[in-house]
Amino acid sequence: MASTENRRERRARPASGAAGNGGAAGNGGAAGSGGEPAAAAVPIVPLSVADLAGAIALSASASWNQNEADWRLMLTLGRAWGIRAPDAQRRERLAASVVALPYGSEFAWVSMVLVLPEFRGRGYASQLLAHALNELAWRGIAAILDATPAGHPIYVPMGFIDSWGFRRYRREATAPAAPARHAPGERIEADARGLDVRPLRDADWPSILGIDRPAFGADREALLRSLAARLPGAAHVAERDGRIVGFVFGRDGREATQIGPLLASDSATTRALLDAALATVDGPVYLDLTDRHVELVPWLQSRGFAYQRPFTRMLRGLKAAPGDPSRIVLVAGPELG
């Protein structure tokens, strides 16, 4: 739960027509490519898992990383809206989308602002983004998004303020990972300081959530459990003196595996967790490193990671970032938080 000074600001339902983005650059956040011309309002419809095929086509059209499991997660746990329109062959298409993924009643993640290339320039992204923000504000729920440099100047006039940043790194495909040589839950790494890294066990969840809630600022158990089920090999915890001091999760993607979130008490714990998770991945990898932990960049480069792009975490309806971001090393991704 956000602290008192971070409490959401109840807003009246604002008028639509906020400036938005006509397409997108990035990988799942609310990235923008510039304002759109004003356009007549078109019907905005709620989306559900019945719209998976159209949603996946939207991600693919922008070369974003979300796959069916990502969209199913967002459509199940969050709220999404879209615009349907006929294409040149008069086939009705899901032309544009936006998602608001709530974390409790305090704030929601806004993402997946997407428009198919042939429908850009009609104001669809602007209308959808305004609709999502209106719905959240009417319910007294703050909005958070992760903006690329192209999208950042669009969101400032809409009431968003900068919070903190992170940077995306990518490692290209490597040789296939060696088969695991340990049983589930078996300790797989230890150092001289008594740090043990091992795969996640069911009994670890209370400790993991006890670390994550105050750091992230809300309960995201449903998200973390979904990630653990999707890529169980990447899910690890770090223990010191029998106490969990860090964890890492991952998920499969359309273009690459995403490693994150990762929370840890220090750099040594982060490196041990990342080594354990990366040992299970044999293809391209994305990770999103918070700017507070740039000391890890040389180590990441030694593991084959190259810098791709920055993101800025932006807030609307909050005076400061929820939780304690200093404990967050890798975010879950710009579409998830």
Amino acid identity of residue 141, one-letter, is I
E-assigned strands of the chain?
45-46, 79-86, 92-103, 107-115, 142-147, 161-171, 189-190, 195-199, 236-240, 243-251, 257-264, 285-290, 305-316, 328-330
Cβ-based burial of 229 (10 A; exposed 0-12, middle 13-18, buried ≥19): exposed
Check residue 87 and give its pLDDT: 83
d(CA 112, CA 272): 32
Cβ-based burial of 306 (10 A; exposed 0-12, middle 13-18, buried ≥19): exposed
Q: End-to-end CA distance of the chain, in Å?
A: 15
d(CA 317, CA 8): 5
Cβ-based burial of 241 (10 A; exposed 0-12, middle 13-18, buried ≥19): exposed
CA angle 23, 56, 159 (to 5 degrees): 40
Contacts of 248 (CB under 8 A, 6+ apart): 234, 235, 236, 259, 260, 261, 262, 273, 274, 276, 277, 330
d(CA 304, CA 298): 10
Q: What domains, with CATH codes, occur in the chain? A: 4-163 (3.40.630.30), 169-330 (3.40.630.30)
Task: Give the H/E segment covering residue 230.
Answer: helix 221-230
194: left (phi over 0), alpha (psi -120 to 50) or beta: left
Check residue 337 and give its pLDDT: 95
pTM for the whole thing? 0.86
What is the Cα gyration radius of the chain? 20
Cβ-based burial of 129 (10 A; exposed 0-12, middle 13-18, buried ≥19): buried
Low-confidence residues of the chain: pLDDT under 50? 1-25, 31-35, 37-38, 175-186, 192
Cβ-based burial of 284 (10 A; exposed 0-12, middle 13-18, buried ≥19): middle
Check residue 39 and give its pLDDT: 55
Dihedral sign, Cα of residue 116, residue 121, residue 122, residue 123: positive
- Dmax over CA atoms of the chain, in Å, equals 66
